[in-house]
Amino acid sequence: MAISIILLFLPLIFFSSFSSSTIDRLSGSSSLSVEHADDVLTSPNGVFSAGFFPVGDNAYCFAIWFSEPYSEGNRTIVWMANRDQPVNGRKSELSLRKSGNAIITDAGRLTVWSTDTVSESPVFLYLHENGNLILQNSEGGVLWQSFDSPTDTLLPQQLLTKDMQLVSSRSQGNYSSGFYKLYFDDDNVLRLLYGGPEISVYWPDPELMSWEASRSTYNSSRIAFLDSLGYFSSSDNFTFMSADYGERVQRLLKLDFDEEIENRRLVTWVREKMKEAPEMSSWIEMIIDPKLEGKYDKGRMEILLEVALKCVAEDRDARPTMSQVVEMILHQENDSELV
């Protein structure tokens, strides 16, 4: 199964500019407020920003995103702290405590997220130019970093290890944890798991032995890495290279959201049924809801399925335009009327 089915690999080009007045670090007993739009940390190179991000009606999560929008103000989110417990749009804040802990509190002063760290020396929070949010003490010791607790995204220089996992979002506009996760299994193989009501391995093909899927189970280091040039490597012998490998652009590796993965799973399932049955009429019967009890026009169903499969071809350039789809359907309808 192609990696494009499970991972969204995005090269991002930015022309970054930022003001010298932006906040580069949070120190002492200070805080960032959800009510102040300027309470945002910016990386030294201006590529990344961190602050409260709106995720719904009067709902906010503390997040890291690319400073430059990709279209019409839309931001590319690369990490979220409280993705499953958004805070109120008033009186919520992220603050540093004298104890060395960084916490997010809601309007009711309830702690919804914490780094769970302790330090006898002063601490400060800053955003590295690679997108890593780091909590560090005055001696230079790293107490906590966002690279160790990813959400659905892997950035260049960020490691995916045996103790981490990428977890999908529910939908394109819903950032809460979804049902798919990319992780290293106990047999040292990188897998995509569906963790819904029925738990199942989605990728690699669970019907294949690891060696048949070109995976190795012998390397127990369990580590995966994306470099800045577009090369991905995993300790289980899985590698791939981006189509624009070598170009100097900002990159990320993102686990697609649930709805998109589900759509691709459906397409894969239909294609598998096609291979199982020699005749189209027989595999159509295998995929149609039995509750219809055969009360549908098989000829028209064949036409619709043929067109639908062309629309989801793996090669995007091979997919028909909407006008071509209409033309194909009308053409097939006219042919069927002549028979």
One-letter-per-residue 3-state SS of 256-306: CCHHHHHHHHHHHHHHHHHHHCCCHHHHHHHHCCHHHCCCCCHHHHHHHHH
Compute φ and ψ for 200, nearest 5 degrees.
Answer: -155, 150
Q: Is the pLDDT of residue 283 over 80?
A: no
Determine the pLDDT at residue 267: 59
Q: Which residues of 122-138 are buried (b: 16+ CB within 10 A; e: fewer)?
A: ebbbbbbeebbbbbbbe
Q: Is the pLDDT of residue 333 over 80?
A: no
What pTM value is reported for the model? 0.75
Q: Name the residue with higher pLDDT: 190 or 315.
A: 190
Which of 122-126, 172-176, 255-259 is most confident? 122-126
Instruction: Tell me how far apart the alpha carbons of residues 5 and 8 are, in angstroms, rounded to a whole number.
Output: 8
Q: Is the pLDDT of residue 11 over 80?
A: no
Measured CA distances, 79 to 14, 43, 52, 182 (Å)? 18, 14, 12, 15
Which tens digit of pLDDT belongs to each residue from 188-238? 999 999 887 778 887 888 888 999 889 999 999 999 999 999 999 999 999
Q: Is the pLDDT of residue 93 over 60?
A: yes
Determine the pLDDT at residue 289: 61
Element (H, E) at 147: none
DSSP for 99-118 reads TS-EEEE-TT--EEEE----
Instruction: Tell me how far apart the alpha carbons of residues 41 and 53 are, in angstroms, rounded to a whole number.
Output: 12
Query: Residue 167: which of 189, 190, 193, 188 has the closest Cα?
Result: 193
Contact 192, 201 (CB under 8 A): yes
The crossing angle, in degrees rounded to 10, of helices 258-276 and 298-311 is: 120
Tokens of 134: 């780091």
Q: Name the residue with higher pLDDT: 268 or 302.
A: 302
Average per-residue pLDDT in the chain? 83
Determine the pLDDT at residue 69: 83
Q: Is the pLDDT of residue 13 over 70?
A: no
Contact 111, 105 (CB under 8 A): yes
Contact 131, 45 (CB under 8 A): no
Determine the pLDDT at residue 334: 62
Percent of the chain with pLDDT over 70: 76
Q: Is the pLDDT of residue 18 over 50?
A: no
